Structure 1
């Protein structure tokens, strides 16, 4: 752990009872959304996209995505400049959800004609390209599989012109991801969490759907327990990573390596985190009680694509 000591922060609970609690995101009007991927009805997947009142903790159903008779398992969310929510779904791939709750499955195959894999998390770069992890097997109606059992997970880029390019495959459950930009605002680095190995992989971004120089960027502490889940950059270039199963957020400096700080959480299974725009407030989901929490970090979050003019 390179001497990283626990750094205490005060956490406040916002809501609980949200089945699977994932995908926290703000839209362009300050509305807060998240997903409940673990909802089932009649023994079938029926995951939900929810709007949350952060003052009361009350949730409102936005949509319950499905394709044919196959319900979704929504996991990660991002917002575009028009206020639409893009959802990485473990059964349905990539979805686009409008503010009114209408949704569509964007792609069934990638740019080379391969069936899309189920997706888990996503992150826009400042040019509007959406980078997406795909840790599941082929989308519904194929059998539901996850790459914890074998390393068939992939990483995609949904380019602004509108095609999905698979940029890597052969990963053990690729999970959270984040994009770093250079001083000119161009996307320059992609970080991808590989949960079972506790590794964070780095790729140099050369253009929409084009990467090179894959390398190990960091590794989370510990041996068997837990693994990296969702993540977000602050405006100093530090990466905050939810360390599922260990009750910690790991904070990495821009150079990666070992954590510079470890933040203990009041729950064992932090799953995802997201900065409120233009603030130090971090909203965090957790699986112990299917909850949503918040805390104040040391600096503001990195601006999101939907905030950029």
Structure 2
């Protein structure tokens, strides 16, 4: 039996026993993982392809030695059913955009804000009213955040900066807003222009963690305007001090904090090594060490998408966009479920009570309900 098939067979046996394979693969890491101790290297593909007979039967009664598939929901572990409602449809809320990103819920007026990067706009969605334009000059924003002062923070990918805007501005003031009117929080590291700020997350104390891949540069890694020789994961303190946390990832992308803010999750959109990583944080928010959280297989065939945006639910589970849709993990790095999406999913967020998931998916804005 070829070595890779023996490894797969061993993996399957361990999976059925509920054991981790990380002890066997601890030394099998690439250069990106040279400093890591893998948390989980479980293969994300089903051990047995879900059968059509599984569709329609009670998921709680299905055997979890093979995933159960109910419509778009592929369940790997029954723990997923504590939050997922497999009867909930995937709703298309709006379509016709170019590339959606950065969804964030605003509790000020109970609306969803999201970026359409190529069109230089931010839109708002309100249940019952639909979609309307919120900002006509977004600075080519990608990620959006709302801070404790109810100000909108925009990670402006093509403007290569992170800026702030008061949400209290009137519609007329917002429409007249130009890129020069933004208050810039950060645009360089040690005098070198940032690559293309992508996604971020705010701690309760106001520290902004963000990623800086090359996606906003026309030629990305080879762009002549690129001033940094790495793609960083950073922390920006409330006083404006910028700290580089990691410069070893080729394409750092989505980023999220655990509920206790002791772990920082980062998606790596490297097509040669798609993965998610976890950084352990000290009490002052500094990185103690990094580890592989979950390794996806190299994307091919009919798969669409890479690890991208992610958010942590009140349950502690991680909703992460990845190949073919949303991947649901528990904090230990175990894959609980996948929610298959009709188009490439870039990012996710929740409404105020976290009973609904919003997904920015290429040209579509999607949503699905969770269990209350």
TM-score greater than 0.5 by the shorter chain = yes
The answer on whether the counterparts of 2:121 and 2:133 sit within 8 Å (CA) in structure 1 is no
Q: Tell me what 1:211 maps to.
A: 287
Q: Tell me what 1:261 maps to.
A: 337
Q: Can you give the 5+ residue segments of structure 2 that lack an aligned partner in the other structure? A: 1-43, 47-65, 69-73, 76-85
Root mean square deviation, CA, Å: 2.5
Q: Tell me what 1:125 maps to.
A: 203
Q: Tell me what 2:90 maps to.
A: 11
- CA deviation string 1:18-49 (max 9, x = no partner): 2211111112312321111012xxxxxxx112
Q: Distance in 1 between matches of 2:96 and 2:67?
A: 33
Q: 1:97 aligns with which of 156, 165, 189?
A: 165
The answer on whether the counterparts of 2:107 and 2:352 sit within 8 Å (CA) in structure 1 is no
Q: Distance in 2 between matches of 1:190 and 1:4?
A: 28
The answer on whether the counterparts of 2:123 and 2:131 sit within 8 Å (CA) in structure 1 is no
Q: Tell me what 2:191 maps to.
A: 113
- Write out aligned runs for 1:219-230 (5 A): 219-221=295-297, 223-224=299-300, 225=303, 226-230=305-309
Q: Is the counterpart of residue 37 in structure 1 residue 113 in structure 2?
A: no
Q: Tell me what 1:306 maps to.
A: none
Shift of 1:4: 4.6
Shift of 1:109: 1.9
Shift of 1:171: 1.5
Q: 1:167 aligns with which of 240, 245, 255?
A: 245
Bigger fraction of residues in strand = 1
Q: Distance in 2 between matches of 1:194 and 1:106?
A: 25
TM-score normalized with structure 1 length: 0.80
SS state at 2:188 partner: coil
SS state at 1:277 partner: coil
Q: 1:25 to 1:148 in 2, by over 3 A?
A: farther
Q: 1:60 to 1:106 in 2, by over 3 A?
A: same
Bigger fraction of residues in helix = 2
Q: Is the counterpart of residue 75 in structure 1 residue 142 in structure 2?
A: yes
Q: Distance in 2 between matches of 1:213 and 1:85?
A: 31
Q: 1:207 to 1:96 in 2, by over 3 A?
A: farther
Shift of 1:155: 0.8
Shift of 1:145: 4.2
- CA deviation string 1:77-113 (max 9, x = no partner): 1111222111112122212122123533222223x33
Shift of 1:227: 1.3
Shift of 1:127: 1.2
SS state at 1:131 partner: strand
Q: Distance in 2 between matches of 1:173 and 1:34?
A: 22
Shift of 1:57: 2.2
- CA deviation string 1:56-89 (max 9, x = no partner): 3222232413xxxxxx321111111222111112
Moved more, 155-164 or 192-201: 155-164
Q: Distance in 2 between matches of 1:157 and 1:10?
A: 37
Q: Tell me what 2:265 maps to.
A: 191
- CA deviation string 1:141-170 (max 9, x = no partner): xx6443599993211111112222221113
Q: Is the counterpart of residue 200 in structure 1 residue 279 in structure 2?
A: no
Q: 2:127 aligns with which of 54, 62, 66?
A: 54
SS state at 2:307 partner: strand
Q: Tell me what 1:295 maps to.
A: 368
Q: Is the counterpart of residue 277 in structure 1 residue 352 in structure 2?
A: yes
SS state at 2:154 partner: strand
Shift of 1:209: 5.5
Q: 1:167 to 1:207 in 2, by over 3 A?
A: farther
Q: 1:104 to 1:212 in 2, by over 3 A?
A: same
SS state at 1:38 partner: helix
TM-score normalized with structure 2 length: 0.67
The answer on whether the counterparts of 1:156 and 1:209 sit within 8 Å (CA) in structure 2 is no
Q: How many residues align?
A: 271
Quick check: which has more Rg, 1 or 2? 2
